A and B are shown apart, each in its own frame.
Chain A
Amino acid sequence: MIENRRKILKRAGATGTLAMAFAAGLLRPEQLFAAGWNKDAFGSKSAQDALKSLGAASIADSKDIVIEAPQIAENGAVVPIEISSNLPNTKSIAVLIEKNPFPLAARFEFQEGAVPFVKVNVKMGESSNVRVLAEAGGKYFTAVKEVKVTIGGCGG
């Protein structure tokens, strides 16, 4: 993080463009936090770009990824999603809500001792496919489940 920040500072440097960037709202100070946070993937506005930023080039469909989510979610602000992977050596699981403004919602890395399982509540702006990307044995696998949303949970 600190390195990144220095680079930005150096680049902006004497010209004072950094201050301008802040003023213009292009560069929010909070974006400089959290080292491991994949800014590119989380900042992607399409699911495809997000998958690319996660390094997933060739992806195979898999029935070993189980997504449990309601078919119809009444409240888009709280949609419970449960994911488990039966793929051997699942290293990570990413959740993408394809029609959200920023599709990538979460990514979990599992070390030795963890079960590749997670349950979490997500926000959904509108009815959308929920796509799960799992990384296992150096390969990428995906599964999709459609969730219909009655009231969106992103705007005001």
Chain B
Amino acid sequence: MADPMKIRATLKGDVADVRVLMGHPMETGQRKDSAGKVIPIHFIQEVIVKLNGKTVIEGQISQAISRNPVFSFRVKGAKTGDKVEISWLDNKGDKNQTETAIA
């Protein structure tokens, strides 16, 4: 089960600032545990941002993104109450999504 996500979208003029936090270890595959064994690579690969059901941003990311990734995105032409939805998919096929109304 994936860790919970946090999302916040606030409107400034007609641009909405969307901030999202994803709970994820983002293992690089280069770290070793205390026994000297390599910790397997495990990271988010895809991030999708939707505004009112329509995809506006598609991101591909690597293991170089920090643990528990935080992103800020901006969407324009948005209104208060519009729905912003963000989802991710990792290299093990695990996924999660969250949504909020623009405040």
Residues of A that sit less than 8 Å from B by CB: 28, 30-31, 33-34, 36-38, 42, 77-79, 82, 97, 100-102, 104-115, 117-124, 153-156
Evaluate contact between B56 and A113: CB separation under 8 angstroms: yes
Task: Tell which of A78, A82, A101, A107 touches B66, judged by Cβ atoms closer than 8 Å.
Answer: A78
A82 to B92, CA, bound (A): 28
**With A30-B91, A114-B73, A123-B28 given, can you name 8 additional A-B contacts, CB distance below 8 Å?**
A30-B41, A97-B64, A104-B64, A106-B61, A113-B75, A119-B72, A123-B65, A155-B31
Task: Tell which of A34, A38, A115, A121 touches B65, judged by Cβ atoms closer than 8 Å.
Answer: A121
Evaluate contact between B59 and A108: CB separation under 8 angstroms: yes
Q: Can you list 10 A-B contacts with CB-CB less than 8 angstroms, sorted by A residue number?
A: A30-B91, A34-B60, A36-B46, A77-B67, A102-B62, A105-B64, A106-B60, A113-B56, A118-B59, A120-B71
How many whole Å from B101's CB to the nearest CB in chain A? 16
Evaluate contact between B31 and A123: CB separation under 8 angstroms: no
Evaluate contact between B65 and A122: CB separation under 8 angstroms: yes
A117 to B72, CA, bound (A): 8
**Residues of B in contact, count (CB < 8 Å):** 42
Residues B22-36 near A (CB distance < 8 A): 26, 28, 30-32
A119 to B42, CA, bound (A): 22
Evaluate contact between B89 and A34: CB separation under 8 angstroms: yes
Q: Would you call B45 an interface residue if the criterion is a C-beta within 8 Å of the partner chain's C-beta atoms?
A: yes
Task: Tell which of B42, B65, B73, B93 touches A105, judged by Cβ atoms closer than 8 Å.
Answer: B65
Evaluate contact between A107 and B59: CB separation under 8 angstroms: yes
Evaluate contact between A113 and B65: CB separation under 8 angstroms: no
Evaluate contact between B64 and A112: CB separation under 8 angstroms: no
The 10 closest A-B pairs by CB, nearest first: A115-B74, A119-B72, A121-B66, A105-B64, A34-B45, A114-B56, A106-B61, A30-B91, A108-B59, A156-B31
